């Protein structure tokens, strides 16, 4: 029954898809667009445009060349001649993310994709539903709550330090630091976000299935594949509300990548449901000790579930929405709105890699941390006030944001997008604003904004932590960037900015303070690290398995 219905749906879908493609081609190649006047790179292909180059895993140079050559707003060619906007002009970003954020909403494909993969959490909702969920979660990301998490953070990082000390007690060892950063990030989010332990951080323990799923999921859904599936597959699939038939089609699609993504999504979904059920059982337990323990738990999901049970009916989240928040919280450790465990471990690994090849910076930072630790473990206020630690974190998140591109925004009606600085159009004239037609998809370049030389100076692309120890150029404050963090777009801005950016900063600083006070990091003597533009930037060893991110560094135990 399901099979015959699925094949019927496939036939209808095929007719619909062919008609849709013909209509799109006629519209794009026979009609002019206001975006045609914008500069942009020539299309590489009729079928895929510039997307494979822009989202290639090794596309750093192409991305950089497009930003430098075509400026703050440019036209990018998508699949089948689609005209896309690539933007990092600060005034344009303010309108897209803040002033007109409910017109420039995240694309249908992005929302549908996240709902399919993660459930109905913050990443998969719009409008009032999104605002309701965000309001429910705001209190658990307050500074007071962050202060209360410090003992838990130290308990996890102390386990990490103990294990690593045992590995290098007899002398320097080459260790895959990325693996330990990923395991630690997941355990920190599991403990503080969900009251659940994924990893005891013992060396011979295999990674939790969720951790392995997250890493593979990031690789499989990234790059041009991720872009095209967001643009075409998910917007098309959402038009047909037959979940059992769609599941049947997915299960019988003879493409290994699709089957792998399905398997990984099921693991993440089942893990989240297991955690929710554990929490529900504890809340409803007849054992007063268990119920009392649940009431006292400070992890994000416990607080969310208690708040949800006490909320007015109109504000209460459904069980499916609560499930979505679990998946979101696992990713909440920062960045733009998607994949928190991977983004935070990427940022911490990037910092340690940079410190290994900049030993003077590493020594200076270690001295600052050790001086502050003379009176014992650092409190929340001490951690956030260490100037050089803060400078190293800010500069790394500026020059090397874990995610290069923000989620695509779609103009829901014709709009005029103003610019803070004119761009030269293809007709040679200056443009101070851009006419954005209804339905235009806009790619926001985080890297372009964070390294804009008009704002940050001629050394904008250079990693210089010292720039944060003196007043920043006036051009930085004058730009009025809409980002919620240090004039940067790493965590975005507006109503869909990353809700957990303070959590991520605290996590990074606790781990770095623990490790740098105990170990010295040096580059591998046998392997060269190459960072790739996966969904979340990741380190790979040149010449080894290109599908497995890793970052071997030489670690030495200090006196």
Nearest C-alpha neighbor of 504 from the set 416, 407, 397, 405: 397
User: Do the Cβ atoms of 49 and 29 come closer than 8 Å?
Assistant: no
Cβ-proximal residues to 288 (8 Å cutoff; 6+ apart), any chain: none
Strand pairing of 441-444 and 83-87? parallel
Cα–Cα dist 544/451, whole Å? 31
What's the N-to-C CA distance of the chain in angstroms?
Answer: 70
DSSP secondary structure letter of residue 121: S
User: Do the Cβ atoms of 210 and 186 come closer than 8 Å?
Assistant: yes
Residue set of the binding site for heme? 498
Burial class, 412, CB count within 10 angstroms (exposed 0-12 / middle 13-18 / buried 19+): middle
SS3 content of the chain, % helix, strand, coil (to 5): 60, 10, 30
Nearest C-alpha neighbor of 506 from the set 152, 164, 211: 152
Other CB atoms closer than 10 Å to residue 538's CB: what's the count? 27
Nearest C-alpha neighbor of 72 from the set 424, 545, 550: 424
Residue set of the binding site? 498
Nearest C-alpha neighbor of 119 from the set 291, 296, 330, 364: 330
Cα–Cα dist 171/551, whole Å? 19
Cβ-proximal residues to 296 (8 Å cutoff; 6+ apart), any chain: none
DSSP secondary structure letter of residue 538: E
Cα–Cα dist 31/377, whole Å? 65
472 Cα distance to chain centroid: 26
CA angle 222, 224, 225 (to 5 degrees): 65
Rg over CA atoms, the chain: 24
Name the token pair of 27: 């519209």
Q: Sort residue 376 into left (φ over 0), alpha (ψ -120 to 50) or beta.
A: left
CA angle 45, 46, 52 (to 5 degrees): 40
Q: Give, in order, the Cα–Cα distances in Å from 361 to each of 187, 250, 351, 429, 459.
A: 28, 50, 11, 46, 18
Name the token pair of 306: 């208690």
Cα–Cα dist 437/182, whole Å? 42
């Amino acid at each position: 029954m399901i099979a015959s219905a699925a094949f019927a749906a496939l036939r209808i879908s095929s007719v619909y898809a062919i008609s849709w493609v013909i209509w799109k081609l006629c519209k794009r190649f026979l009609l002019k667009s206001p975006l045609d006047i914008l500069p942009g790179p020539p299309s590489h292909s009729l079928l895929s445009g510039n997307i494979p180059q822009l989202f290639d895993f090794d596309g750093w140079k192409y991305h950089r060349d497009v930003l430098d050559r075509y400026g703050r707003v440019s036209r990018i060619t998508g699949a089948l001649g689609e005209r896309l906007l690539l933007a990092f002009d600060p005034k344009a970003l303010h309108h897209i993310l803040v002033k007109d954020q409910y017109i420039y909403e995240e694309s249908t494909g992005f929302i549908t994709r996240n709902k399919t993969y993660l459930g109905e959490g913050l990443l998969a909702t719009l409008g009032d539903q999104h605002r309701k969920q965000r309001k429910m979660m705001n209190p658990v990301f307050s500074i007071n709550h962050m202060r209360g998490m410090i003992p838990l953070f130290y308990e996890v990082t102390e386990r990490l330090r103990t294990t690593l000390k045992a590995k290098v007690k007899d002398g320097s060892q080459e260790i895959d630091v990325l693996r330990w950063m990923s395991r630690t990030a997941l355990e920190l989010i599991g403990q503080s976000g969900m009251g659940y332990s994924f990893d005891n951080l013992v060396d011979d323990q295999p990674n939790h299935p969720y951790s392995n799923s997250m890493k593979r999921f990031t690789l499989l859904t990234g790059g041009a594949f991720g872009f095209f599936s967001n643009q075409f597959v998910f917007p098309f699939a959402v038009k047909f509300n037959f979940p059992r038939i769609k599941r049947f089609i997915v299960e019988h699609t003879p493409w290994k990548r699709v089957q792998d993504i399905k398997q990984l999504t099921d693991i993440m979904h089942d893990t989240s449901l297991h955690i929710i059920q554990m929490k529900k059982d504890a809340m409803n337990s007849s054992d007063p000790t268990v119920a009392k323990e649940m009431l006292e738990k400070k992890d994000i999901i416990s607080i969310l579930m208690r708040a949800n049970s006490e909320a007015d009916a109109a504000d209460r989240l459904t069980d499916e929405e609560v499930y979505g928040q679990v998946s979101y919280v696992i990713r909440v450790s920062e960045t733009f709105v998607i994949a928190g465990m991977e983004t935070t471990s990427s940022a911490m690994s990037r910092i340690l890699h940079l410190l290994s090849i900049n030993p003077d910076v590493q020594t200076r930072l270690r001295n600052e941390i050790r001086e502050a630790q003379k009176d014992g473990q650092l409190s929340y206020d001490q951690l956030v006030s260490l100037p050089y630690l803060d400078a190293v974190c800010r500069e790394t998140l500026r020059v090397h944001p874990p995610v290069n591109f923000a989620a695509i925004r779609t103009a829901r009606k014709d709009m005029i997008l103003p610019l803070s600085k004119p761009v030269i159009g293809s007709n040679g004239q200056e443009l101070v604003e851009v006419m954005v037609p209804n339905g235009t998809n806009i790619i926001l370049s985080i890297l372009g904004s964070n390294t804009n030389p008009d704002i940050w100076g001629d050394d904008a692309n250079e990693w210089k932590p010292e720039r944060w120890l003196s007043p920043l150029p006036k051009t930085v404050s004058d730009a009025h960037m809409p980002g919620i963090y240090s004039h940067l777009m790493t965590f975005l801005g507006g109503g869909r900015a990353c809700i957990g950016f303070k959590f991520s900063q605290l996590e990074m600083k606790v781990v770095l303070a623990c490790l740098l006070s105990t170990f010295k990091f040096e580059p591998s003597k046998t392997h060269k690290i190459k960072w790739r533009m996966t969904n979340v930037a990741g380190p790979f060893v040149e010449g080894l398995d290109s599908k497995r991110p890793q970052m071997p560094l030489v670690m030495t135990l200090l006196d």
